[in-house]
Structure 1
Amino acid sequence: MKPYQQLPIEFSILKQREFEQIRQFLYEEAGIFLSDIKKSLVASRLCKRLKETGYQNYGDYFEFVKNNLQHIEYHHFIDALTTNETFFFRENEHFDFVKQLIKDHSQKKSWQAWSAACSSGEEAYSLAMLFADILGIDGQWQVQGSDISQRVLAKAELAHYLLERNEGIGFERLQKYCLKGVGRQSGTFLIDDILKNKVSFFTMNLTQSCESVGMCDVIFIRNVMIYFDADSKQRVINNVIKQLKVGGYLFISHTESLMHVNHRLKQIKPSIYQRI
């Protein structure tokens, strides 16, 4: 059966064997582990893909995805099974720390920051606003954002958000770095190109080599490790730390921990680590 052939569909249930195959495949491809309680979630999210592609059961759909890794449907599959939730200046204590860090190293010639699981871009643009506040929009700094999901990266590059999502940015930054939508775009805002041009986005699987990122002074890897088992978490941390300069800082979410993970980092504060 060819993908995207439209058929009258009567969907089958997701069989346990199919769920286990999908779970194993996602783990091998992205390092993300799905527990048994995620079966209904997987069925619900992939049901939408069955409707789009015309497949009548999960088994046939999965066989196509598994055997066509270069097809766009592979990316839709990954997107459907990865959770992406973020907002501007989330866990603001981390941004306060970076702000003071920049001020304390005012003679530093350049800064490189990486939002390693950036989702739709709010975290990366929050970092960019912070650097622009202190060093100026033309300062020697750059922010990179990466994610495994091409869907959310497309949103990040578009930099177009609902106005209700601006909480945390503050009025002054909205005035400096954002454009308010009017007419048909009312109720939305756009990140201004002056800031947008300082941020780059790219697809990255953190369980694989991250060398293309280059060496960074600041790395945010927040609200993503909760989806990895112990082995994948160790692999991700190993890859990410390789891109952190000596003296650089790594930030994880307050809800996450590096317990039982081998690393070469000194804990400065809860969820803040330095490479020494």
Structure 2
Amino acid sequence: MPAGSRPPLLSEAQFLRFRTLVSQRTGVFLAADRRAAVAARLGKRLRHLQLASFEQYLDLVEQPDQQQEQQRVLDLLVARDSYFFREHRHFEFLAQWLRDMPRPLRLWSAACASGEEAYSLAMVASEHAVNDDWNVLGSDVSRNLLEQAGAGIYDVAQARYFPEGWLQRYCLCGVGEMAGRMRMAASLRERLRFRPINLIQSLPTDLGLFDVIFLRNLLAYFSQDEKQRVVHRLLACLRPGGLLLIGHSESIHGLDLPLRPILPSVFERL
């Protein structure tokens, strides 16, 4: 597709094929009104590959040996906003909760995208955990995003919601060619581990138990049945008395789960 040309039309049948791929791989359901957005996001990929139609792209993506291209589709269509200390009240609550927990702690950012949430958890733990024995797991279905998370390099502008003094404490700001960029400090990065985990599949058997699980801004994309399955899997990895936090705009109302609400979007494992 020549640069600057109008993107091809995405037919309903083609949209449904992309929707099936996304749903089978991630559990995310793309509503019919997302068709134009899907065409816009994938149209850039067509131009890069110099393909003339979405049909050609689907023929490529649906080949069994095209896992990398399939992952690109998922990255483009299941992109989630991610920034440090998003929904800050969760972190304020966590800070207070950590002060009352003397035991070693494990925290899990279960849909961490490019890592901002996981590093936010680590900074709060570093500041407020009374026991210095803590670590954070960040997981996502996207290996590309996890590579970014592992590098720990971000635009300095993304630190706009950091508490005062935390940018200097937990980040190294770049100079020269790296001006305007920051890297999370090694003392923080060594407490984090990132690994690919698909939450709609059976979880790895070596995860162990966690004290806090953040599962935010993902459930809104799932059907009620998929929510039940996903949260049930995660609760098997959450200690009794541990915390599950979901997005402020999300709901697990009507699900059969061993949880007690503490605050809106904050639950305790029974």
**What is the aligned partner in structure 1 of residue 213 from structure 2?**
219
**What is the aligned partner in structure 2 of residue 232 from structure 1?**
226
Whole-Å separation in 2 of the counterparts to 1:266 and 1:113: 19
Alignment check: 8 A CA contact 1:146 1:203 kept: yes
Alignment check: 8 A CA contact 2:2 2:47 kept: no
Alignment check: 8 A CA contact 2:99 2:129 kept: no
Alignment check: 8 A CA contact 1:19 1:39 kept: yes
Residues 35-86 of structure 1, C-alpha deviation per residue, up to 9 Å, x if partnerless?
1110011111111222223332212222322222553111111111112212
**What is the aligned partner in structure 1 of residue 85 from structure 2?**
89
Deviates more, 1:264-273 or 1:201-210: 201-210
Alignment check: 8 A CA contact 1:88 1:169 kept: yes
Whole-Å separation in 2 of the counterparts to 1:71 and 1:28: 14
* SS of structure 2 residue aligned to 1:167: helix
Alignment check: 8 A CA contact 1:84 1:120 kept: no
Whole-Å separation in 2 of the counterparts to 1:69 and 1:146: 24
Query: How much has 1:203 moved relative to structure 2?
Result: 1.4
Q: Which one-letter code corresponds to 2:175 in the other structure?
A: V
Alignment check: 8 A CA contact 1:210 1:243 kept: no
Whole-Å separation in 1 of the counterparts to 2:38 and 2:226: 20
Alignment check: 8 A CA contact 2:108 2:214 kept: yes
Whole-Å separation in 1 of the counterparts to 2:210 and 2:247: 19
**CA-atom RMSD in angstroms:** 1.9
Alignment check: 8 A CA contact 1:132 1:139 kept: yes
Residues 169-216 of structure 1, C-alpha deviation per residue, up to 9 Å, x if partnerless?
223222221111112221221101110111111112111122343211
Unaligned runs of 5+ in 2: none
* SS of structure 1 residue aligned to 2:78: coil
After superposition, residues 1-276 of structure 1 pair within 5 angstroms as 12-68=8-64, 71-106=67-102, 108=103, 110-135=104-129, 139-211=132-204, 212-276=206-270
| Aligned residues between the structures | 267
Alignment check: 8 A CA contact 1:68 1:74 kept: no
Query: How much has 1:270 moved relative to structure 2?
Result: 0.7
Q: 1:8 to 1:97 in 2, by over 3 A?
A: closer
* SS of structure 1 residue aligned to 2:52: coil
Unaligned runs of 5+ in 1: 1-6
Whole-Å separation in 2 of the counterparts to 1:134 and 1:25: 42
* SS of structure 2 residue aligned to 1:113: strand
Whole-Å separation in 1 of the counterparts to 2:215 and 2:250: 10
Whole-Å separation in 1 of the counterparts to 2:46 and 2:212: 41
Whole-Å separation in 1 of the counterparts to 2:33 and 2:230: 24
Residues 97-141 of structure 1, C-alpha deviation per residue, up to 9 Å, x if partnerless?
2212221122x1x111000111111110011111111348x9211
Whole-Å separation in 2 of the counterparts to 1:223 and 1:246: 23
Alignment check: 8 A CA contact 1:84 1:152 kept: no
Alignment check: 8 A CA contact 1:32 1:228 kept: yes
**TM-score of the pair, normalised by structure 2:** 0.92
